[in-house]
Chains A and B, each alone.
Chain A
């Protein structure tokens, strides 16, 4: 089959590789119909994860049709149309039973490695480096889905791929980010990053009852989508964000701040140069520019919700601000499974049409171009969906 393989920093290529096969009783094989590139893939693409190996198959936002099931699968049939959460979860361990699916204790075969870096391991994930299991991803014609009885959700034919694909990751991720803000009527939420995760955070914050959402980014097309979603916007290249938010909230600060940027934050200040230099020297793994700002801007007693991905060690986090101002930090890889049904319902009810942010449909063969424009935010790119054919 054809698959998108990581070949090194800023290099992916479509390769012919063997078809996946059933390895465990609870596996299924899915023929992929749509597969997206995520902001998280960019962290791998840009070489921020040392546990990538040349030849790893990328991709964790995908859906398709079941073509084979293992002997342990009962409820799934060949021909079923399914979406598959990026987090791999067994459904049996204590964390899975508490709906903390991205903390599944059993799905990461390389848990020992994550334990060395993080203390304990997260779940296994598709196409997301050997630290989270080294599972072959879904930017391919076929993909093996472990624990498919828990991790493959049937969707009816009434909705298009474009409408349901993002249930695999970014819609639940934005939703969980907003849910983590414990939004009460009348509250103001600030969102750093108007990329796919930021945009879904904005929509979800409104779904959950926010009065106002203020979005921060620098790309006009992204800020426009944010405004179309009902947010007010600030361009961080044109104004001082703390000052702007302080003014807009009349000196209180946003009730909650969402960092939907993550470890590759961009900036135009000396801070940015500092973090880039440290990153280049491997003295810091992540550039937490948005996170620092989100902490400093947040209202006293407020919540900083962090869907943006961080991998290792962060410098100059104003923890004194967190402590002295009673801030709470909420974060995590998304527990996708617990949001699929409720969010599917929102889509069916017409509350939201997640396809609004797709700017590019490409053939899987053009993956290299897709990564390039999405990474460099060229050509007005907000979200790339690819199709093997």
Chain B
């Protein structure tokens, strides 16, 4: 199998799965009914993306595994999502800031990936880009509303940004896998996306009257399977049925 392509696809899939799982915790508990519905929509889109990506990863892996095997039956260190998406929902400010940092990245990423020489990834990116643009508009508007809203909402949103900023750097993490995929014209050069990402983040930060944290301490490791403490608990929920009732059809 093409190891690099497998890992590359899995990393994208895991980002979608883990963030979709996080958002789905909120279904039925949203701050406003309309927002409950909107966040569930985003969760559904992400789970949908994850499903197609895992199907493709399973094909690339060629060991007879299914998308569900990949989604539900790996060990913690085999998940390759960025640390940002496994962070807890916190308050609505934290949920939205996490979403916005990620969506802003994802729009740029899919926009570039749709020109991939790998026709499968290109097609998935093209389809996912449409919905991700909508997610990004939604989360950006909320960051502005919350940042610019009341004193309380401003300070909560600033706190969320201060907390999550340290995980934003990892969105642009690249290693040999990325280099190989870029060389094969399959992958995206994330370094090239970074200035545009920063520009878009700054635009929203300004409209939201927020401040980009000066603390530039960065956390990474997710792409290599080294996670925060939060992921294990998330996986305990996610994998519960598959672990408790192994090998059954549902």
Same complex for A and B? Answer no
